[in-house]
Structures are given as structure tokens and as C-alpha cells.
Structure 1
């Protein structure tokens, strides 16, 4: 599958398959026999994975039935601010995913299909941010580029780049991904998996030759400030493979936001009319198939006497389905949904149960205008900047659509133990804590005077239908991930374990990224298509057709 040079996309590295090319091929994804048209598939979860799968299954002529416990969109949630007298406010806070790397080719297939507009995300030291303030140990630095910062920061950046390439062959791996050279990607990556699965991110940093030449202070600052999007010390316990995937897929680079809110993507998929679907009349949408609203939360899944799946929802109604796709976070399959144990193997249950979720907290306020763009007449500096700090706020992001329009401040974006510090507090206390921290960095800026409307906050670990923000695999977890990811190819499974499929970013090798959710949804589409006796066209083979030659490496048990 060697191809001509191409822009870098998330082509692997664990499974180097071109999902974007599969989606865009004129022959389509495949077909199911006419006898399968209209047969129902239960989709548990109406996030991006569930809705992408439902959309493509509808195009195949099947009837997806989406069950959603709360609201469509999952962790692509855009929450409008409530402002007295402005009930139709279009100013939003992105509570879940908010920055999307252009290398996410499968995800952007749907963004482009819906005609949505994007803009560069205001990450630190980017043109979109304007300026950045790094404040550590009570000392601040103002910068527009890396070169504006002291040598310490440049030494860290050089050590990080050098360690990645010298130890992990990053440049060679990325070049193979650009060429869509599956064999080369597998050759490099399959050697890295057993070498690094048992090693943590911090261990990699501390033991690399590039960082070993530097001081502990360098490692400490690297954890606070990180690379690309901010501090990474919350990820230090994770397996190094998790971090390497982010680097090699350039998930931390060239990130964009979706103008008007990313929730438009799942909701747009839900309402988009389809004119090329098998079986369904032209103009049919997922919303049409559901009379406008998804069905309620699933509470039980079991195998019925007729061999189909008996699915009970929160209303107590039982429906029979020919296949089930679970896209909810894996812990919910034991805490919120009673799933008959025999539907999945014990090895797979172990993998699902051992999934480790990371905590995340965000607090937003709406402001009357982007006052941070005001320039100090003496210094020429902006009044306030995108801010990275070791204080409670950790990361503070600034969003605006123009000087005369309201703006949004993400006062605090924190992870793991820093997020848990916010967990017990109501929204106003979180705002006060964040403003107090920022007042120490910007003593001459009265942020509070610009705040309008009601603040918005989220702690994903406190939501019973999420229990965390996203997966963060620990050392030794690769085998679990491979079991979950590979499950969509079911031809060798015993009959009683066939027909229930899994998708979502926690099933993927790239948790926290919408691209992983979309790719696993497409895997499930292929698996369900095969389950109904269908197939992809010869000229456009699907992920299951090439799985044996491209599959993720298997480590010995």
C-alpha cells in the first residue's frame, strides 16, 4: 500500500490504514444484501463515534437506532452562555473536545462534509494566541514565540525533539506515514511497541540522553509547560507509547477550533439528509429515522432465545436487534448497563475493566469584549495572554471573534490531581479560585469587571455517564488496547460472542482525540456490514479486509 508523498495524517501507527481514502473513494464503503435492508442495529451512545457509525450504517441501508442517556454529542459538547435578555446567545464554551489537529483526516471528512468553518486554536506561542505568559514559581515571562523566552525553554524544546528522534526514530516514522507506506510504518512501530510499552512517559524523559544532560529543573518546567499545547506532567504516569502516538500523528500541532462550536459536527451528522443511501428514500436523515429524538439510555443487553440481542432502555421497553454497537465509555458496560457476561470474552472484559480514565475540569466565563487585546502604551504588551502556570488554573485560554463582540475565557483547564482539586467546588467557587490565581499573575487587570452572564464549568469524572474525560493507558496496557481495538474483526470468535461491537476513542489507540473515535466507528461499520453478510468493494477494501496484514502487533501473553 505504498503511495506517493502526502500530508501527514493519523495513518496508524498501530494500524496503518487510510480511513480518509476509504471514506472518499467513489465506490463507497460497501453494501449489505437486500435481505438485510431495514434491519435494526442498536447504537449505545450518541457521541461522535455512535453518530458516525449510525450515519454510515444508514447509508448501507440498515436501520441504526441510537440510544442516548443525556444529549447528543457526547464529549463534543458546546454549551451556550446564559445572558439575561439574550436567550439566543451564540457565545459558547467547549466543555469537551475543543482543539482538533488537521492530521485528523477522518474527523475532518465530516467537518468538511457539513461545510463547517474552522480557525486556528489559540495555543501557547502561536499566532492565534497573540501572546503567551508563562508563570512558574511566581516568576513570569511574556512571549510571542519560543525565541522570546529564556534559554531554559529552548533547551527543553531541543531536548524533547532530540530525544524523540534519536530514541524513537520519529522523523523516519513520520516520513513513512506521509508516504502511506504501511510496511515501513509497521516495521518501525512494531519494534517500538515491545520496547516502550512497559515504560512511563516520565521514565522516558528522565532516562533519555538529551534530558539526562540537563537539570531536574528542566524536567520540572517541561512538565509544567510541556510542548505544543501546554504542561504534560499529568501524563507522566502514562505509557510512553501513548505520548509517542500524539507526537508522531502531530496531534499537538496545527490545531483548529470549529467556529460556532464543535457540537455542530455530531448534530450535523444527525440531521444531514442523505441522497445516496441504499433502501432509504432520498433526503432521509438519522433524525428522520428516530422521529427527531434518540431513544433513552440502555440499561440491559442480553442474548434472546431467538439469537438476537434483547436491549432494555430506561423506560423499561425491550427491543430486539440483530447487532449492537456500544460507543459509551467502557466502564459504563459494568456500572450503567447490565451486559450479559457471555457476550464478550473474559480477556476482553479484563481489558475493558482495566481501562484507566483521566480526570479533566474546565471553568469558563463570558466577557463583554476581548479586553486582553488592549496594549500597554509603555511596554506594547497585551493586557492579558494565553497563560500557562503552576497555579490552580494551569492553562487559561482566550477566545474572541472581533474587538466589538463578547469573548470567552477558559479560566482554568486542568487534569488529574489538579482537576480533582476543583471537583468538590460549585461553579462560583471555581471561578473565584481561578480569578484569585490570575490576579497574582495580572495584578493590574480587573478580569471580574468584564464578566457577563453565568459561568460554566465541567468535571467529566463527576458525570455518571462518563466517569472521566478520556483514557490514559498505563505501562503494560498495550495488550488490553489491542484486544479492544481488534474486536471488530469477529470471524474467528465463537458464535455467542459475535454481533456486539465496540467503538469510541477509548477503544482506539489514540484516546482523547475525535479521530480515534471516528476511526473505531468506521471499524465497527465494516464489522457490522460483514455481520450482515455484506462486504466492501474489491477496489476499496475496508479495514477488516486488510486487517491480517496491517493488524497491530501482538505481544506475548
Structure 2
């Protein structure tokens, strides 16, 4: 059976096939070769777009406000080689074929992520309201958990056209996808995830306890109560594209994918052999972009040192709120409907707390129970999710003591790293009273709260009911042929621009949209036999909802 990929459903386009096609993405007029274009942000969207624009013969000039990698941020523990904490993206579903195209190009290795109840985790402990359950598979848990899983599967089948819709995605059947998905958009845009659950017939046969446990533990990777207020369309896409299943991590840190692309030499139009993004940028990115203004038919970028450069095209991959808080953006660069969409984009909070330990001591067996002394853990306590990373024999191991979202993330926002660790250890001691985790900790903890970072102001987008129209405007902004001249030449990309926020595949797909947009804006066109996203967008683009 063909594997499901992130094909649509709003815009069904096979990005992974487009970028792998032997004809390439397109051609630019020769007099445009070597032209500088600005890329704001050296995260996944920025580096992927810069990489493809370099191949087309342009000179991408990359600006970065802080750390190369964006939210693909792999922090190495002090004094180690390759022992890392993944502060941003850390688990990558195999359906993200566009992203894995670049993983393979970069020569990076991936392995199964130790999610709850997965073989990679080995064992899982779920502890809610003081009741503890040890499990290796769903079948090891009490019937309540299986009832929840069955109810959710039934609700998807009865209310959301599963599994027919998933079969259409698997088969890349565009007409089939549109016939099933477009009516769901009209019906579900203004309904929440919780509304979907509570009003589904399968869950109505159950009780509040089932909904409560579903929110705490969820399916796949953990609890979903933080997403209960979100638009159900956001969750349907995750289910449909199997973004919450079959996930892997990148050995040595996902940030390496971008560093390797930065230094990777590939055949390019115009540029000589051996050219890399690093060489085109003098070995380093430019500083923080602080202003965007119109300068005739060019767009002027000012950096933090008040250096100004004019470009015929600019790609902004930063989170949209930065266009009003950190970057002085001329209002006329976007029309007012797009500004409404950019300003209303909602970002969710997320916090992680990591420690390095001397060894994977959790593999020790408790002689009294015959079970590992500690397991991957889901709980209603402060930690919410605790993940265990075994780096192999004779290597330190890593524990993500706590991965929490929204209210749970805000609880630790003002706290020091040391205090966060103390609270996490206190919570875990209630679940594993005989395990002295602190005795194994080495070095300093590593923590992140994305909402407190001035360069992000949140972890990822979480669309609310009624936000479909906003997402449609932002995602489709790369189609500029019908725009007023004063709005052309500036492009947007990133997972928050995509239909699948929080997933790097969304960053990849929107960056490729922008590549097509910049290619055509500068007088180029797609390669013969390999139409790009903008060539097919008028026919296969997202359904319009009336204002």
C-alpha cells in the first residue's frame, strides 16, 4: 500500500516530487542570474528557500536575528560531543516527505522517536489523579483507554469522512480529496476540537471521565487538552496526514540538517562548482532585519546596524507578529485584509526542561516488579510529558523532564532553569518514589519558553475557529499576479503560514511556494514537464469561504 504523505488537503500538491524532478524547478532569464534576494530568518523555511533559489542562479542574502536554525534548535550539553536537547522541533513524521528530501540531501540519519506506547519508548507510565498504569501497548491499559481510542476513531469515521479521505490523500486523488475536504471546511471552520469530541455520538455514549483522560493523554504523542479550543480543521489535518504517527528524530540534532544545507555544494545555474549558501553569504548570515520599506520597485531591508540594501524580492520567514513588533514594516507592503490575517494569527506557548544524566538508568530492572525503574511518562502533574533518550553505551543520556503547552507552559515561564528542574523532580518523585533522578544529573539543565523569546513570541500557530479565511490569505500570498504593484515582491513562509503549524513540513512547503513566487516575480518560469505550486494553484487551491 502506498504510504500517506502530507499531500494537501487544502492544496494537494506533491512538493516532494516537484523538488526531486530531474528537470529542476525552473529557469530564470540570464540577465537575472546573480541577483540578490533577501531571506529574513535562517530557520527551516529560510534555509530551504535560500538553497533552492541558489540552485536557480540567484544570490540569497540571509538575515538572522539570533540563532541559526530557528525553531530547529539543537542545544549541546556543555562538555559533550553530540549530546543534545531539542528545544524546538524534535519529532518528524515520515509523511513529511518534503522535509526528508532535505534530510537525505544533508546526509543526516533518523531513528524512531520514543513516543508513548511506542516500541522506541520501550515502556510507558500513565499517571492521572494519582493512579499509575504501566504499559508497553494500548492493550496493557485499562479498558477506559481503549474505549477512548475506539470512540475517537469512530468519530473521525462518522463525522470527518475517514477513512475515505485518508485513502484519497494516500492515492493523491485530488478530485477525491476536494470532494470530501471542501465540505468539511465549510462545516467545521467555526467549530472547536472540543466541540467535535463532546458532540460526537461515540463520545456521547461515554462520560466526562473519558473526555478528561482523552485531554490528558490523547492519542499518538500525548495529551490534547491544550488544543481543545482550536479549530477542528487544525486537528483533522494532523490526523489525516499522519503527522502524529510514525515519528522519528534526527541523530545528532535536527539543526544539523540546516547547517549541512548551508555548506552543501550542488549543481547550480550560473554559479561555479563548489558554490554554497555559506560562500554566497561570506560564511555568515547578516544581522537582525529591523525595517522593511518600499524603494521604487525594490524593497529596502535595514539591519540592526542601520545598513540598508534594496532587493527586487524579499522572503520573510519570521513569525508574523514580528512584522509589527520587531521589524518596522511599511504598512503599504501588504493590503489591509492580509494585515488582519497576520495580526490575528494566534501562537501557542510551549516549554521544555532537559537534563543530562550519567547513563540511561531507567533501563535498570526493579527486582520487585520486573519492570524498568522508570518509563516515558504522561501525567496530569506539572511535567505533563517526560521523554527518555538513550544515546547508547558509554554515553550520557538525556531526559526531557517536562514538555508542556499553554497554561502548563505559563506556570513555569518566570522560573529559573534550576527551579524548573526542582519542580519537575518533585512531580516525578510522586510517580517514581524509589528513583533518585537527581543523583544521575550531570551538568546544567537546558530549558526553553518560546513565548518569552523576542524573536518568536510563541512556539507555533494554533488556529482558532473562524481562522480559515486568515490562513487562506496568508498561505496564498505567494500568488501575486493579481496584486497591486505596491504589494508585490515581498513573500511569506514558515510553518505558521502553512496549514500545518508546528510541523516542519509546513515550513518546507510554504518556502517552496515562495521559491516559485520569487522565480516568477523575477521573470522566470517552471521547468517544462514539472509545473510548480503556483502553476496548479488556480485549479487546485483551497476552497473559498465567503466573507
TM-score by length of 2: 0.99
* Pick aligned residue for 1:102 from 72, 94, 98: 94
Structure 2 unmatched ranges of 5 or more: none
Match of 1:41 in 2: 37
Is 1:265 the counterpart of 2:257? The answer is yes
Match of 1:132 in 2: 124
Structure 1 residue 407: Cα displacement? 0.4
Match of 1:282 in 2: 273
Matches within 5 A, 1:449-464: 449-464=439-454
Match of 2:198 in 1: 206
Distance 1:290 1:499 in 2: 21
Is 1:56 the counterpart of 2:47? The answer is no
Distance 1:171 1:271 in 2: 42
Asked if the contact 1:131/1:143 (under 8 Å) is kept, the reply is yes
1:36-90 C-alpha deviation (Å, 9 max, x unpaired)? 10111111111000000000000000111000000110000000111xxx3x532
* Pick aligned residue for 1:220 from 212, 222, 228: 212
Asked if the contact 2:185/2:233 (under 8 Å) is kept, the reply is yes
RMSD: 0.7
Asked if the contact 2:23/2:528 (under 8 Å) is kept, the reply is no
* Pick aligned residue for 1:520 from 492, 510, 522: 510
1:286-319 C-alpha deviation (Å, 9 max, x unpaired)? 0001111100011111111x32111100111111
Aligned residues: 547
Distance 1:491 1:165 in 2: 40
Match of 2:65 in 1: 69
Structure 1 unmatched ranges of 5 or more: none
Runs (4+) of structure 1 exceeding 6 A deviation are: none
Asked if the contact 1:133/1:143 (under 8 Å) is kept, the reply is yes
Structure 1 residue 403: Cα displacement? 3.8
1:429-462 C-alpha deviation (Å, 9 max, x unpaired)? 0000000000000000000000001100000000
Distance 1:343 1:249 in 2: 34
Structure 1 residue 380: Cα displacement? 1.4
1:319-341 C-alpha deviation (Å, 9 max, x unpaired)? 11111000000000000001111
Match of 1:175 in 2: 167
Structure 1 residue 378: Cα displacement? 3.0
Asked if the contact 1:6/1:180 (under 8 Å) is kept, the reply is no
Distance 1:265 1:237 in 2: 34
1:342 counterpart SS class: helix
Match of 2:75 in 1: 79
Is 1:435 the counterpart of 2:425? The answer is yes
Asked if the contact 1:44/1:68 (under 8 Å) is kept, the reply is yes
TM-score by length of 1: 0.97
1:166-191 C-alpha deviation (Å, 9 max, x unpaired)? 11012111111111111111111111
1:134-159 C-alpha deviation (Å, 9 max, x unpaired)? 00001100000000000000000000
2:31 counterpart SS class: helix
Structure 1 residue 6: Cα displacement? 2.8
Distance 2:400 2:462 in 1: 23
Asked if the contact 1:78/1:94 (under 8 Å) is kept, the reply is yes
Distance 1:260 1:463 in 2: 24
